[in-house]
Structure 1
């Protein structure tokens, strides 16, 4: 069972996040995207990203090169968004984050651009797989600020990479073995800005995937919900008896 939910939050007038997944007996692809650009441009960018990546991967007969396929699909989405932004004055400057997982057998490839996140959960804890492409993360890496200072930094939401803002995009990928992983969590920063990993773990450990998404969004909104909030929770290979 896959849990999936996207919520406008408490403050925003438009939900610029997009989420989606496709799963069959051979593979699964799961995506969260956080659009930007004002008016409805962010919503357009994030939807193009999700639809393009899932559509391309569904069209293939051979998924042997999982990393190459995921990278190619994201680059396709980048070109579509960039091209559309150049051809429509109302969409100038639009872009989106992307975090996507391609799962086959016991292997998962994670790809990300921006500050949406992927976490993996084991029976004894939760770990972040992706690394944010953000100004604040850059400051942490340089040693200019601490992880604690990053949590409340005023420029926390400034990202250094996005899909669709340039003709070419740099994509980070991660190769994950799923044998000892119970759950995989994808989310936009609307969730992680308010909900910490301990809270995330407790909710997901004690609920099924659909209920987890509902409770995570509810907690995020209870703690402010200033941004759109999107989350996907799906099974790893090490399944427990609650789902």
Structure 2
């Protein structure tokens, strides 16, 4: 199938990235970091139409993870995650200013940071985080996109948004300005069985019910593969990346 599978060290974390059926390069990037105390999962989608979107997404993810890895003590995960993404924004922005070949690059970023039973999710752009419980799937993040603004003001319905010609235009990105506005969401893990981080290459093709059914029927590694297969079977017009974590491994 031509999947670009990264090494999977732990079956409790599934992750997979694919360039899709049409794009020549993959501008998505993902990564995670786990130790005995904290867990961090990050996904990014380099901005189409800008220079070096693949560089922006890779730098953003790695900068965010490296910032948290070097901390000796973490008490406030909300504050730390906000600082990590702010730091990633500065790195991407400075690289774009210093190199003409990278000028104007940017990326979305969505990160999930876990400490014991507390979870903080941050996002900039339109990559998404979903929570899966025994009975339903919930989208935690809210897209920073033109279409989302049209939904919010009642101009279009969520159904109309699925086929809107401007659905890929984002209103907020990482690395395009010196400062960035970050949305933060908090959750408790008590009722949440699994989390999904994904780029819009998945959500543009696969709806929430389809995602939920696939997650329930597969372990985390297989779920990523099946989700990407489903997106590609429906067109695969963009790069597609998914991280699934939480729950027990299926034998």
| Class of the TM-score when normalised by the shorter of the 2 chains | over 0.9
- 1:12 corresponds, among 15, 23, 37, to 23
Is 1:75 aligned to 2:83, yes or no? no
Which residue of 1 is the match for residue 166 of structure 2?
155
Which residue of 2 is the match for residue 175 of structure 1?
186
The answer on whether the counterparts of 1:37 and 1:91 sit within 8 Å (CA) in structure 2 is no
Alpha-carbon distance between aligned partners in 1 of 2:142 and 2:160, rounded to the nearest angstrom: 17
Alignment of structure 1 residues 113-192 onto 2, 5 Å: 113-192=124-203
The answer on whether the counterparts of 2:130 and 2:138 sit within 8 Å (CA) in structure 1 is yes
Aligned length: 240
CA drift of 1:38 comes to 4.7
Residues 37/201 of structure 1: CA separation in 2 closer, same or farther (3 Å cut): closer
The answer on whether the counterparts of 2:51 and 2:103 sit within 8 Å (CA) in structure 1 is no
User: SS of 2:237's equivalent?
Assistant: coil
Is 1:50 aligned to 2:61, yes or no? yes
CA drift of 1:39 comes to 7.5
User: SS of 1:22's equivalent?
Assistant: strand
Superposed CA deviations along residues 181-225 of structure 1, whole A, max 9, x for unmatched, are 110000000000000010000111010000000000000000000
Alpha-carbon distance between aligned partners in 1 of 2:178 and 2:38, rounded to the nearest angstrom: 30
Runs of 4+ in 1 over 3 A off after TM superposition: 37-40, 239-243
Residues 37/222 of structure 1: CA separation in 2 closer, same or farther (3 Å cut): closer
Alpha-carbon distance between aligned partners in 2 of 1:78 and 1:241, rounded to the nearest angstrom: 35
Which residue of 2 is the match for residue 91 of structure 1?
102
Alignment of structure 1 residues 190-205 onto 2, 5 Å: 190-205=201-216
CA drift of 1:78 comes to 0.6
Alpha-carbon distance between aligned partners in 2 of 1:101 and 1:240, rounded to the nearest angstrom: 19
RMSD: 1.2
Which residue of 2 is the match for residue 242 of structure 1?
250
The answer on whether the counterparts of 2:15 and 2:242 sit within 8 Å (CA) in structure 1 is yes
CA drift of 1:90 comes to 1.0
CA drift of 1:92 comes to 1.1
Superposed CA deviations along residues 123-158 of structure 1, whole A, max 9, x for unmatched, are 101000000000000011011111111111000000
Alpha-carbon distance between aligned partners in 1 of 2:248 and 2:134, rounded to the nearest angstrom: 9
Superposed CA deviations along residues 25-68 of structure 1, whole A, max 9, x for unmatched, are 21100001000255861010000111001111011121111011
Superposed CA deviations along residues 99-136 of structure 1, whole A, max 9, x for unmatched, are 00100101110000000000000010100000000000
Gaps of 5+ in 1: none
Q: TM-score, normalised by structure 1?
A: 0.96
Q: TM-score, normalised by structure 2?
A: 0.93
